[in-house]
């Protein structure tokens, strides 16, 4: 399959077993067309431009095939902000027992690869690259061009993944279970997000996630967090961005447990692992998060921190479950290209067990 995705069939439903051999699928540059005609996604009021749905779908790009979202026209239009209607170029939605291999998604208009309601999926040798050709030096015009996202997902493996861009390399979103990721390189952006969780009044649990062998590299864009867990405040709080559709958000609940992050090599990363439970709210909602976090392990983190942001910037994780976060510990972290392993930056949570172990 090759050529332009013009909009005649932005939504592809496949219910039979299919083997795809893809060269490049390129989205047209008609942003107003796509803003009007993409497929609505309730989560954060987003849109999909191309959806795979069904059972036993196997996509192989043979290392030369993939999707080109023609993202520059969107990055130029939005210039670093994110406006409503930017279609995701590759959404796997209501899909089981399927695979994607040797495949790229470049210049995505929005999140590059997004799984929603996916079970038994494997991905191997995937590249996701969001680089603006027109952004002035130093500005990040590719916000929200995440790499690999999961939601309502069970038993997903991702092996050998390269992300280049300015946002989340991987984002593990609500109700993701049994996610195994091995061998990823994130060049620029936020690194690996667990979240956002708790934005909606529903169970937002995330359980059994293993991410092994990750390299986080400062490149064209700053490399901000390496791994962060982000939960919303426990109250419904009025929001202004289009993502909330004029509704108050927050107040979601659930458990975040049994997450293992191991063998991380950091090159010029601004901050070490990070947990915040105060997303989306105001000072008076701090500490109200209903997401319970436990059994999080960061093991074998080595490399350098650039620490361009003062250590005190860390938001305290002072949710209902995570009490007694001690930011003073942060300041003992090595700064300015100092070597890891990082010291134990989290301590004293009554029910939060985080162990940061030295690489042996």
Ligand X SMILES: *[C@@H]1O[C@H](CO)[C@@H](O)[C@H](O)[C@H]1NC(C)=O
The mark string for 232-271 relative to ligand X (x by CB under 6 A, - otherwise) is: --------------------------x-------------
Q: Which stretch binds ligand X (CB under 6 A): 113-121, 214-222, 310-318, 344-352?
A: 113-121
* Cα–Cα distance, 360 to 358 (Å, whole number): 6
Q: Which stretch binds ligand X (CB under 6 A): 120-128, 188-196, 245-253, 352-360?
A: 120-128
* Cα–Cα distance, 338 to 50 (Å, whole number): 44
Q: Which stretch binds ligand X (CB under 6 A): 90-98, 162-170, 209-217, 307-315?
A: 90-98
Q: Which stretch binds ligand X (CB under 6 A): 24-32, 111-119, 278-286, 318-326?
A: 111-119
Which listed residue (22, 25, 51, 171) binds ligand X by CB under 6 A?
51
Helices of type H across the chain: 31-37, 71-78
Residue 64 or 337 with smaller CB distance to ligand X: 64
Q: Is 120 in the site for ligand X (CB under 6 A)?
A: yes
Query: Is 101 part of the annotated catalytic residue set?
Result: no
Q: Is 102 in the site for ligand X (CB under 6 A)?
A: yes
Q: Is 182 in the site for ligand X (CB under 6 A)?
A: no
* Cα–Cα distance, 53 to 95 (Å, whole number): 5
Give min distance, CB of 11 to ligand X, in A. Answer: 7
For 333, residues 6+ apart whose C-beta sits below 8 A from its C-beta are 272, 305, 307, 311, 342, 343, 345
Q: Is 77 in the site for ligand X (CB under 6 A)?
A: no
* Cα–Cα distance, 238 to 275 (Å, whole number): 23
Give min distance, CB of 94 to ligand X, in A. Answer: 4
Which listed residue (30, 77, 101, 235) binds ligand X by CB under 6 A?
101
Residue of 152, 67, 157 whose CA lies nearest to 112: 67
Q: Are 319 and 246 in contact (CB under 8 A)?
A: no
Q: Are 81 and 115 in contact (CB under 8 A)?
A: no
Size of the site for ligand X (CB under 6 A): 25
Q: Is 178 in the site for ligand X (CB under 6 A)?
A: yes
Residue 208 or 315 with smaller CB distance to ligand X: 208
Q: Is 200 in the site for ligand X (CB under 6 A)?
A: no
Which listed residue (45, 56, 82, 122) binds ligand X by CB under 6 A?
122
Q: Is 177 in the site for ligand X (CB under 6 A)?
A: yes
Q: In 8-146, where do the E strands start and end?
A: 11-13, 18-21, 24-27, 39-41, 46-48, 51-55, 57-68, 87-88, 90-106, 113-129
Q: Which stretch binds ligand X (CB under 6 A): 19-27, 119-127, 210-218, 219-227?
A: 119-127
SS3 277: strand
Give min distance, CB of 60 to ligand X, in A. Answer: 7
Q: Are 179 and 202 in contact (CB under 8 A)?
A: no
Burial track 219-228 (b if 16+ CB lie within 10 A, e otherwise) = bbbbbbbbbb
SS3 133: coil
Residue 208 or 239 with smaller CB distance to ligand X: 208
Name the residue with tokens 């990082």: 342
Catalytic residue among 72, 78, 167, 168: 167
Q: How far is CA 216 from CA 160, 194, 213, 247, 257, in A?
A: 14, 16, 10, 35, 23
Which listed residue (152, 295, 323, 329) binds ligand X by CB under 6 A?
152
Give min distance, CB of 206 to ligand X, in A. Answer: 9
Residue of 140, 154, 147 whose CA lies nearest to 171: 147
Q: Is 297 in the site for ligand X (CB under 6 A)?
A: no
* Cα–Cα distance, 258 to 178 (Å, whole number): 10
Catalytic residues: 167
Residues at the interface with ligand X (CB under 6 A): 51, 53, 93-94, 96-97, 101-102, 116-117, 119-122, 124-125, 152, 155, 157, 160, 177-178, 207-208, 258
């Amino acid at each position: 399959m090759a050529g332009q995705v013009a909009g005649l069939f932005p939504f592809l439903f496949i219910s039979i077993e299919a083997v795809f051999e893809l060269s490049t699928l390129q989205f047209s540059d008609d942003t107003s067309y796509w803003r009007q005609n993409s497929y609505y996604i309730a989560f954060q009021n987003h849109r999909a431009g191309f959806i795979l749905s069904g059972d036993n779908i196997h996509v192989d790009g043979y290392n030369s095939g993939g999707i080109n979202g023609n993202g520059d026209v969107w990055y130029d239009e939005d210039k670093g902000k994110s406006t409503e209607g930017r279609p995701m170029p590759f959404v796997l939605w209501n899909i089981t027992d399927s695979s994607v291999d040797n495949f790229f998604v470049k210049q995505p208009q929005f999140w590059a690869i997004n799984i929603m309601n996916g079970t038994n999926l494997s991905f191997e040798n995937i590249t996701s690259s969001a680089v603006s050709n027109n952004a002035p030096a130093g500005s990040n015009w590719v916000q929200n061009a995440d790499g690999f996202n999961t939601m309502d997902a069970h038993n997903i493996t991702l092996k050998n993944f390269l992300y280049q861009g300015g946002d989340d390399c991987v984002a593990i979103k609500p109700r993701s279970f049994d996610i195994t990721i091995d061998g990823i390189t994130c060049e620029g952006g936020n690194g690996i997000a667990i979240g956002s969780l708790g934005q909606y009044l529903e169970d937002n649990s995330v359980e059994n996630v293993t991410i092994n062998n990750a390299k986080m590299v400062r490149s064209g864009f700053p490399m901000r967090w390496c791994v962060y867990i982000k939960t919303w405040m426990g109250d419904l709080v009025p929001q202004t961005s289009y993502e909330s559709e004029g509704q108050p958000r927050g107040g979601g609940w659930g458990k975040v447990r049994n997450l293992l992050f191991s063998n991380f090599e950091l090159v010029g990363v601004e901050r070490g692992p990070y947990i915040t439970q105060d997303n989306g709210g105001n000072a008076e909602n701090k500490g109200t998060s209903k997401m319970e976090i436990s059994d999080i392990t960061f093991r074998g983190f080595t490399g350098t921190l650039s620490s361009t942001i003062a250590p005190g910037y860390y938001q305290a994780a002072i949710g209902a479950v995570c009490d007694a976060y001690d930011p003073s510990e942060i300041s003992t972290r090595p700064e300015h290209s100092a070597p890891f392993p990082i010291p134990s930056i989290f301590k004293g949570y009554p029910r939060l067990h985080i162990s940061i172990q030295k690489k042996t």
